[in-house]
């Protein structure tokens, strides 16, 4: 899910493999940039109902919540939701930051397909693309504004442009 240019193709990747895959693409192929097409948690917010219980997450939950297993009931307090979403975003942001450095070292651009609903799905899935744009990690963003309703498309794009505030170009889908 990461290359565009002369040798464009799709690759599914994991958190631990994304930077390695990005470096491999740039070493083996002549491309003009990398495109992060699926850089988020895959649960579309279900993590708030059924939080991950893998070993790595359980270790982090002890640090954040003082216990290794959490459930939806733990998210009754707004602060718990905040800390959980902050944890998820830091995981995804770490990948984006590493891939950004690899792209810079190779003189190529970095873009992404962004969830259109920033407050409804993007942040819950760990995809704080406005922050990444403002940090200079993205050269452009392609929000997935997939709708046949012109008024809704215009509303989404207006909000996205305001959120990014000129930090990088937006090419609306």
Return the pLDDT at 16: 58
Map 72-133 to HEC letters: HHHHHCHHHHHHHHHHHHHHHHHHHHHHHHHHHHCCCEEEEEEECCHHHHHCCCCCCHHHHH
Return the pLDDT at 6: 41
Return the pLDDT at 145: 96
Return the pLDDT at 38: 87
Please, how many CA atoms are within 13 Å of residue 14, restricted to the half-sphere of its CB? 2
Return the pLDDT at 85: 94
**What b/e sequence results for 46-63 when a residue is b if at least 16 CB atoms lie within 10 Å of its CB, and e otherwise?**
ebeeebeeeeebeebbee
Return the pLDDT at 2: 44
Return the pLDDT at 8: 36
Counting other chains too, the contacts that 5-10 makes at CB distance below 8 Å and 24 or more residues apart are 5/30, 5/31, 5/32, 5/33, 5/108, 6/30, 6/31, 6/32, 7/31, 10/37
- pLDDT tens digits, the chain, 173 residues: what are they? 444 444 333 333 345 588 999 999 999 999 999 999 989 988 777 889 999 899 999 999 999 999 999 999 999 999 999 999 999 999 999 999 999 999 999 999 999 999 999 998 999 999 999 999 999 999 999 999 999 999 999 999 999 999 999 999 999 98
Any residues with CB less than 8 A from the CB of 133 and at least 6 apart, and which? 141, 164, 167, 168
pTM of the predicted model as reported, rounded to 2 decimal places: 0.86
């Amino acid at each position: 899910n990461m290359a565009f240019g002369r040798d464009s193709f799709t690759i599914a990747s994991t958190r631990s493999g994304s930077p390695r895959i990005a470096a491999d693409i740039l070493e083996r192929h002549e491309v003009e940039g990398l495109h992060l097409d699926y850089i988020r948690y895959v649960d579309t917010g279900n993590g708030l109902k059924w939080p991950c219980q893998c070993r790595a997450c359980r270790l982090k939950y002890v640090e954040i919540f003082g216990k290794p297993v959490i459930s939806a009931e733990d998210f009754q307090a707004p602060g718990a939701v905040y800390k959980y979403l902050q944890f998820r975003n830091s995981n995804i942001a770490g990948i984006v930051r590493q891939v950004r450095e690899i792209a810079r070292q190779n003189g190529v651009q970095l873009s992404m397909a962004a969830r259109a609903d920033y407050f409804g799905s993007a942040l819950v899935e760990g995809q704080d693309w406005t922050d990444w744009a403002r940090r200079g990690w993205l050269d452009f963003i392609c929000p997935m504004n997939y709708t046949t309703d012109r008024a809704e498309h215009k509303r989404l794009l207006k909000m996205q442009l305001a959120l990014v505030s000129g930090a990088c170009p937006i090419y609306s889908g």
